[in-house]
Amino acid sequence: MIEEGSKSSKAMVEKRQLFMEMRAQNFDVIRLSTYRTACKLRFVQKRCNLHLVDVWNMIEAFRDNGLSTLDHNAEINVSRLETILSSIFYQLNKRLPTTHQINVDQSIGLLLNFIVATYDSEGHGKLTVFAMKAMLATMCGGKILDKLRYIFSQISDSNGVMIFAKFDQFLREVLKLPTAVFEGPSFGYTEHSVRTCFPQQKKILLNTFLDVLMADPPPQCLVWLPLMHRLANVENVFHPVECSYCQSESMMGFRYRCQQCHGYQLCQSCFWRGHASGPHSNQHQMKEHSSWKSPAKKLSHAISKSLGCMPIGEPPHPVFPEAAERPQDLVHTSTLESPSRLDEEHRLIARYAARLAAEASNSTQCPPTDLSFNFDANKQQRQLIAELENKNREILQEIQRLRLEHEQASQPTPEKAQQNPTLLAELRLLRHRKDELERRMSALQESRRELMVQLEGLMRLLKDEEQKQATQTGGSPHSSPSHSAGCTMPMPIRSTSAGSTPTHTPQDCLAGVGDDVLDAFSQGVPRNLRNDLLVAADSITNTMSSLVKELHSVDDGLEEEEEHMRNGRDKVSSLKHSGKRHSTPSY
C-alpha cells in the first residue's frame, strides 16, 4: 500500500511538473491574451522538445506507427500513445548530433502528461487518432504553411474541397490547447467558430483555406497560432535600438514602434506588460517589427519600391493548383520533386512574371527621363526570372543525376566484384597469403614446443647428475664443488629463462613440457609468438652453454677426487708394506 501511494504521488508530481514550471515563468503578467497564449504554448513546445521535430518528421512517424490507415474517430489508449511518442523522440535523437542529444524519457513523460491532461481530462485513458494528429501537427516544429497543408489534407474530401464538419472537429481539438494553458475564456471553442473563419464561402479549396488562416489578421480563434511561429523566428533577433521606457540599449525579440509618438519604441517585455511613459498611451496603435533595418537599407528599400523594382502586394503563400491536395502521410524528401510539382513551379513563375508585367504597364511611378540611370526594370525582372528558371532546371537535373548515381552505387557488390578481375585476383592473393601465414604459424608453434621439450630433457639430465654426485660424495669436504654446482645450476637456468623470455607460453604450444620450463617461461608481459620463439632460442642457447660449463666443472671435480682417492690408496698401501717390514715378529 505504501509503494502504491508513493507511485501515485510521483505520477501526480510528474503531471503537474510542466504546469508548475510554466507558472514559474510568470506569463500571466502579459497584458494581451494573444501574446500570453502564444508564449505559454511556445514554452510547452520547447520544454517537451517538440520544436526540434519537423512537421514532415511527425507525418513520417504517423505513417510508421500505422496511424495513416486508421479512421479519425478510432481511439488509441495511453500505452500506444506512449509508444508513438517514444518512436518520435528516439528518431529525433538519431538525427541530432551527439553533443545535442535530448533526455528522451523526460520528454516523453512531459508530453504524455500534457496530452492526457488536455484531451483526457475525465480519465478514460483513450483519445482519438484525429485529436492526437491535430495536437502534434500543431505543436511540432516546421513552417506554418506545411502544417496547414497537412491539416487541410486531413479535413478535405477526394476532390480537394474542405469538409466543414471535419474543420469544426479540427477546431474542437486544436482549441483545447489554449484551454490546457488556462486561456480557455479567450480562445475556447464555440459553435460559431467555423462561420467566423469562413463567413460566406461555401466551397473552400486549399488556396482559400491558406488565404484565410494566414491572413493578417487571421481568424480570432486561431490568432495565437501564427504568433507562436513568429515568436520562434524572433527569439534571437537583435535590435540596436534603445527602449523608450526601460532605457535598455538593445532589444531581443519583437520591437514595437508607436504610430503616433515620433521615435517612441518599446521592447517586447515593456509592450507586453503595458508600460508607457511621457505622452505615449497604451491606446496608441503600435507596429510590430521582427527585424532591424539600418537607415541606409530603409532608404534603398524606399527608392527601389518607388521605382517599381520591387513587387507590391506579394501573396502570403504560393498559389497551389486547384486539384485535390494529396494526403501528406508520406515521407517528405527534399531531394527531388515530381514532374507535376516542377510544372506547377514553372506555372507559378510564369504567373508571377505576368503579374509583374501588368503592374509595370499600369504603374505611373516610372523613373524620369532626365535621370543619369535609365533602365527597364521590368525587362531586368523578366531576365532574372528566366535565369532563375534555368538555374532551377539545372539543379533538378543535377539532383536527378546524383540520385541515379546513388542508386547505382547501392546495388549489390557481388556483380561488381565479378566484373573486376583485378579485385578478384587481389582477393585470391590475400586468401593465399592468409593460409600461408597460418601454416607458418603452426610450424613455428611446433618448433617452439620441440625446443622446450629438449630444454626440459637437458634440465632433467642435469638434475639426475646432481643427485648422483650428491650420493657419491656423501657430504665429504671434497664434494663442495659438486655440491656447489648442484645448488647453483637451476638458478642460472631459471634466471636466464625468466629474464630473457618474458612471455606466457600458450597451452597448445607447450603441451607435454614439464613444470620447470613452464615456470621458467610463465613470467613477464605478453608478446607475440615470433618474439617468444626468438627469446626461447636465445634462452636455450645460453642454457646449453651453462650446462656445458657446469658439466666440465663436474668432470674436473670428479677427476680431482679420483686422483685424491688414488693417492690415498697408494699411501695406505705403502704404509702397510712399511709396517710389515718394521714389525716382523721374532720367535
Cα 296 to chain centroid, rounded: 43
Can you tell me the distance from the alpha carbon of 200 to that of 226, in angstroms, rounded to the nearest whole number? 23
Strands (E), 195-258: 238-239, 251-252, 255-258
The answer, yes or no, to whether residue 504 has pLDDT greater than 50, is: no
For the ranges 37-41, 108-112, 396-400, the lowest mean pLDDT is seen at 396-400
Span 244-258, pLDDT tens digits:
999 888 888 999 999
The answer, yes or no, to whether residue 441 has pLDDT greater than 80, is: no
Burial degree of 454 (CB within 10 A; 0-12, 13-18, 19+) = middle
For the ranges 41-50, 330-339, 491-500, the lowest mean pLDDT is seen at 491-500
Can you tell me the distance from the alpha carbon of 498 to that of 516, in angstroms, rounded to the nearest whole number? 11
**Mean predicted confidence (pLDDT) in 494-512:** 43
Percent of the chain having pLDDT more than 90? 34
Indicate the residue type of 514. Answer: G
Peptide bond into 219 cis (omega under 30): no
What local confidence, expressed as pLDDT, does residue 84 receive?
96
**Mean predicted confidence (pLDDT) in 65-71:** 90
Can you tell me the distance from the alpha carbon of 113 to that of 497, in angstroms, rounded to the nearest whole number? 71
Span 127-182, pLDDT tens digits:
999 999 999 999 999 999 999 999 999 999 989 999 999 999 999 999 999 999 99
Span 451-469, pLDDT tens digits:
888 878 887 888 888 788 8
Q: Strand 265-267: give its sheet, edge to edge.
A: 265-267, 255-258, 286-289
Span 313-327, pLDDT tens digits:
556 667 777 655 555
What local confidence, expressed as pLDDT, does residue 171 receive?
95
Please state, as a whole number, how many other Cβ atoms lie within 10 Å of the Cβ of residue 93.
16
Can you tell me the distance from the alpha carbon of 27 to that of 269, in angstroms, rounded to the nearest whole number? 11
DSSP secondary structure letter of residue 162: B
Q: Which residue has the higher pLDDT, 225 or 13?
A: 225
Threshold 0.75, pTM exceeds: no
Evaluate whether 483 touches 473 at the Cβ level (below 8 Å).
yes
Contacts of range 383-390, beta carbons closer than 8 Å, 24 or more positions apart: 385/349, 385/352, 385/353, 388/349, 389/346, 389/349
Helix segments in 162-222, DSSP class H: 164-174, 176-180, 184-187, 193-197, 206-213
**Mean predicted confidence (pLDDT) in 432-452:** 79
What local confidence, expressed as pLDDT, does residue 415 receive?
54
For residue 427, what is its C-alpha cell?
582477393
Per-residue confidence at 335, pLDDT binned at 50, 70, 90? very low
- What separation in angstroms does the CA of 149 have from each of 153, 285, 329, 341? 6, 33, 11, 15
Rg from Cα positions in the chain: 48
- What separation in angstroms does the CA of 512 have from each of 140, 451, 458, 521, 543? 72, 12, 15, 14, 20
Span 184-202, pLDDT tens digits:
898 988 888 888 888 776 7
Grouping H, G, I as helix, E, B as strand and the rest as coil, residue 156 is strand
Can you tell me the distance from the alpha carbon of 226 to that of 231, in angstroms, rounded to the nearest whole number? 9
Round the average pLDDT of the chain to a whole number and report it: 75
The answer, yes or no, to whether residue 52 has pLDDT greater than 80, is: yes
For the ranges 185-189, 340-344, 403-407, the lowest mean pLDDT is seen at 340-344
What local confidence, expressed as pLDDT, does residue 484 receive?
40
What local confidence, expressed as pLDDT, does residue 163 receive?
93
For residue 426, what is its C-alpha cell?
587481389
What local confidence, expressed as pLDDT, does residue 362 receive?
58
Give the closest residue to 532 by CA, choosing from 511, 495, 494, 504: 504
Q: How many residues does the chain have?
A: 587
For the ranges 118-127, 154-163, 344-353, 499-508, the lowest mean pLDDT is seen at 499-508
Span 513-569, pLDDT tens digits:
555 555 555 544 444 545 655 666 676 666 666 655 655 554 555 555 556 555 655
What local confidence, expressed as pLDDT, does residue 198 receive?
85
What local confidence, expressed as pLDDT, does residue 580 receive?
46
Per-residue confidence at 433, pLDDT binned at 50, 70, 90? confident
Span 6-43, pLDDT tens digits:
544 555 666 688 999 999 999 999 999 999 999 999 99
The answer, yes or no, to whether residue 126 has pLDDT greater than 80, is: yes
Per-residue confidence at 373, pLDDT binned at 50, 70, 90? very low
Evaluate whether 301 touches 293 at the Cβ level (below 8 Å).
yes
Phi-psi group of 253: left, alpha or beta (phi > 0 → left; psi -120 to 50 → alpha; rest → beta): left
What local confidence, expressed as pLDDT, does residue 478 receive?
43
For residue 425, what is its C-alpha cell?
585476383
Can you tell me the distance from the alpha carbon of 367 to that of 351, in angstroms, rounded to the nearest whole number? 25
The answer, yes or no, to whether residue 425 has pLDDT greater than 70, is: yes
